[in-house]
Amino acid sequence: MFRPSTEGDTLYATEPAAPERQSAGSTPRRRLFSLRLRLLVLVGLILLPWLALVLYTQAEERAAAIADVNRDEMRLIRIIATSQAAEVESARQLLNAIARLPHLRAAGSACGEILSEILAASPMYLNLAVAEPNGNLSCSAVPPQSAVNVSDRMYFKRAIETHRFAVGDYQIGRVTMVPSINYALPLLGDTGDVRAVIVAAQSLNWLTLALSKVELPSGAVIVVTDHKGTVLARLPDTGDLIGKTLPETEVLAILSEQRQPGVFEADDAQGVRRLWAHAPLIRGYELHATIGVSKAVAFADVNRRLMRNLAALGLVTVAAISAAWLGGRFILRQVDALVTATRRLGAGDLGARATVLGDKSELEVLARSFNTMSEMLETRDSELRIAEEKNRAAEVELAVTRAHMDIARQIQRSLLPQTPLASAGMRVAGRCIPADAVGGDYFGYFPRGPNGVDSFIGDVSGHGVGAALLMAEARITFLAERLVEPGAAHILGRLNDLLHDDLDRAGHFITACCATYDAERRELKYANAGHPPALMLRADQATCTTLNADGVLLGINKDASFTEIRVRVQTGDMVVFYTDGVTETRNEVGDMFGLDRLAQAVSAHRADDPEIVVGEVLSALGRFAGTRQRDDDLTIVVMKLVG
C-alpha cells in the first residue's frame, strides 16, 4: 500500500507491517529480497522479446536455408532432366533412323546383322530388336537363346496403344539378362496399323554415370525411380539398391501421392532427417528424380549463428541481472508499482493503472506511458466489442438474406420446365443458368392439346431479384394468354399491353420471342420482341439460318405491334431459341462466343435429341469461357420435329 511520508511530500511504497513476533531486523531484508526478485522478473520480461527476436531471426534464416536448398535441388534436377531428355531424344532418333532402313522388315540374319552393326556403334545400349505386333521378336542384335515374346512388357504395350515412341519400366532383359530401360517405336503401315515395334534396351550404367558428373551438396542423396518406385540410379552408389524398391518408405509414400514437382521433409533409410525435392525427369515419361540434403548440413551455418547469438544474449542477461540485483534499492519503488499494474493488466484488467511516485525519473515516465497504453487498450477493447456486436448482427442479417435467396432460387427453379417435352411429334428441351442466385431469364414450353406446342423465352434487362420478379409476372401472363388465342404475335402483343406499366415504373424492359407449333399443318408461327433471332437448322441443310421477325422490346411502346412469320417444318428440322447471355459470353481474352460458334455447336449435334443438344452447347460455352466469371444469365431452348 502507499502512505504519505513524514519527511516530505514524495510518495513511496511500503510493505505491510510485519507481525510483532518477527524480529525488527528481518522485515527490511525480506522486503528488499522480494522487491529485488520482482526487478529480476521484470528484467527477464524485458529480455524475453530479445530471445523471441533471436529465435524468430533463426526461424527466418532456417526458412531461407530451406528455400536455398530447395532452389539448389530443383536446379540440379533440371540439369539431370536435361541430360535425361537428351538421352531419351537420342534413343528416339536412333529408333527413327533404324525404322527407315530398307532391310528392317526382313526377318532372319540380315536384319540381325544390321542391328548388330548399329549396336556395336552404340555402346550405351545393351540390345536392339524388332518385335512383331503379337510381341514375338523377329530379329535381335543379340541372338536370343530361345523364342522371346515381349507383349507383356510396358514399353511394348505403350507403343502398341499409343502408336508413338514409348519408354518402359525397370526390367531384366529376356535376351540380355541385364537390368535395363527399354525404348520402343511402332513401325506403322500405310493404313496406320502397327506392322512391327523397334526396341532399344539401354543399360542403367549410363544413368549412374550421368548422376556422378553432377556436383551435389555435401552429404546429399540423389535417386532416380520409375512410377513403381523402383530405383534406377542412386548416388552415393551403395551397389545393392538398383532394381529394388526405394528403401525410404516415407519418401516413397509422399512421391506416390505428389506426382507434381515439389519439396518436402522426411527421413531416409538410416533415419537421417532430410529436405527432399522431386520432379519428373521428362514430362510424359514416368521417370522421377529426387534429391535429399541432410538438415544438419543445410542448417549448419544457421545453428552456429544461433549458438553465438544465444551466448551473447546469455552474457547480456547475466549482466542485466547483476545490475538489477545490485542497483535494485534505487529503482525498485516505482518498479514495484509497475509490476503490480502489469500483473493486473496481464490478468485481463484493462482498467489497471500504475501509481506514479514522482515526476522526473525515467521510471515515472514509463509509468505514465504504461497508463496511457492501458487507457488505449481499454478504449480499443471497448471499440472491438462494439464492432464484434455489429459484425454478429450483420452475420445474422446476411444469413437471413441468404436463406431468403435460397428460397427465391428454389421457387424460380420450380417455375421452369423440369423435364423435356414430347408432344405432337415435337421434342423440346431447355435450360436456364442464372448469373446470380436468381435471374431475369425465363423459358417455358407447354402442349396445346394433342396437336400443338407453345414455347416462350424472355430476358429481363439486368439480373437479380428485381428481374426475377418481373419475369415471374411475364410467365403468369404468358400462361394465361396462350389459352386465349394460339398466335405468337398475339401473345407478345398481350404481354406488352399488360406488362408495359409495371416495366415502365421499374425502369426495365423485356426481350422475348414466342413460337407456336401446329402439328396438323406442320407449321411454326414465330414472333420476336427485340430478342436475338432464333436459329433454324433444316434437316436437309448443312448450316443454320436465322428467323427474322420485327418487334420492339416489351415495355417500350404500349401500342406496339409484332410481326408474325410462319415456317413450314419437316421431320428432323430444329429451331434454337437463346438469350444474349449465350452469344455474349466472353473468354479470358475478351472474345465473345458469338452466333457463329453457337450455330456450329448446334450443327455438330443435329442428329441428337434436343436435351443432348442443350447440354453440348452449354459444354461448348464452358470450354470457351474457361475460368472467366459469367456476368449474365444463360438460357437456351431447342425444338426438334421428330415425327
Pick the CATH number of 417-641 from 3.40.50.300, 3.60.40.10, 2.70.50.30, 3.20.20.110: 3.60.40.10
Q: What is the pLDDT of residue 419?
A: 93
User: In Å, how far are 331, 506, 591, 621 from 626, measured between CA atoms?
Assistant: 70, 34, 12, 9
The model's pLDDT over 217-246, given as tens digits with 9 standing for 90+, comes to 777 788 888 777 787 777 776 667 777 788
Q: Does domain 67-312 have CATH number 3.30.450.20?
A: yes
The model's pLDDT over 375-397, given as tens digits with 9 standing for 90+, comes to 888 888 888 889 888 888 888 88
Q: Is the dihedral of CA 577, 578, 579, 580 positive or negative?
A: negative
How sure is the predictor about 338, in pLDDT bands with cuts at 50, 70 and 90? confident
How sure is the predictor about 425, in pLDDT bands with cuts at 50, 70 and 90? very high
Average pLDDT of the residues in 147-161 = 88
58: CB partners within 8 A, 6+ apart:
302, 305, 306, 309
The model's pLDDT over 538-562, given as tens digits with 9 standing for 90+, comes to 999 999 999 999 899 998 898 889 9
The amino acid that residue 377 corresponds to is: L
Looking at the chain, the domain(s) classified CATH 3.60.40.10 span 417-641
Let me know: does 48 contact 341? Beta carbons within 8 Å: no
In angstroms, the CA 368 to CA 356 distance is 7
DSSP three-state, residue 159: helix
How sure is the predictor about 331, in pLDDT bands with cuts at 50, 70 and 90? low
> Which grid coordinates belong to 220?
546429399
Q: Which range (53-57, 390-394, 575-579, 624-628) has the least confidence? A: 53-57
Q: What is the pTM of this model?
A: 0.43
Q: What is the pLDDT of residue 516?
A: 94
The model's pLDDT over 51-62, given as tens digits with 9 standing for 90+, comes to 888 788 878 877
How sure is the predictor about 68, in pLDDT bands with cuts at 50, 70 and 90? confident
Let me know: does 214 contact 222? Beta carbons within 8 Å: yes
Q: What is the pLDDT of residue 239?
A: 64
The model's pLDDT over 125-140, given as tens digits with 9 standing for 90+, comes to 888 989 899 989 888 8
How sure is the predictor about 334, in pLDDT bands with cuts at 50, 70 and 90? low
Average pLDDT of the residues in 148-160 = 88
Q: Where are the beta strands (DSSP E) in 499-601?
A: 510-518, 523-529, 534-537, 545-547, 564-568, 574-578
In angstroms, the CA 633 to CA 581 distance is 5
Q: Does 300 have pLDDT greater than 70?
A: yes
> Which grid coordinates belong to 154?
510396358
Q: What is the pLDDT of residue 291?
A: 83
Average pLDDT of the residues in 256-274 = 80
Average pLDDT of the residues in 568-588 = 94
Between 248 and 511, whose confidence is greater? 511
Average pLDDT, whole number, for the chain? 81
543: CB partners within 8 A, 6+ apart:
537, 599, 603
Among left, alpha and beta (phi > 0; psi -120 to 50; other), residue 615 is alpha
Looking at the chain, the domain(s) classified CATH 3.30.450.20 span 67-312
The model's pLDDT over 304-316, given as tens digits with 9 standing for 90+, comes to 887 888 888 788 8
How sure is the predictor about 14, in pLDDT bands with cuts at 50, 70 and 90? very low
Q: What is the pLDDT of residue 266?
A: 84
Between 389 and 367, whose confidence is greater? 389
Q: Where are the beta strands (DSSP E) in 9-120?
A: 11-13
What values do phi and psi take at 520, rounded to 5? -65, -40
Let me know: does 641 contact 572? Beta carbons within 8 Å: yes
Between 484 and 1, whose confidence is greater? 484
In angstroms, the CA 638 to CA 578 distance is 9
| Residues recorded for the chain | 643
Q: Does 17 have pLDDT greater than 60?
A: no
Starting at the edge strand that comes first in sequence, how are the strands of the sheet with 574-578 ordered? 421-423, 426-433, 634-641, 574-578, 534-537, 545-547
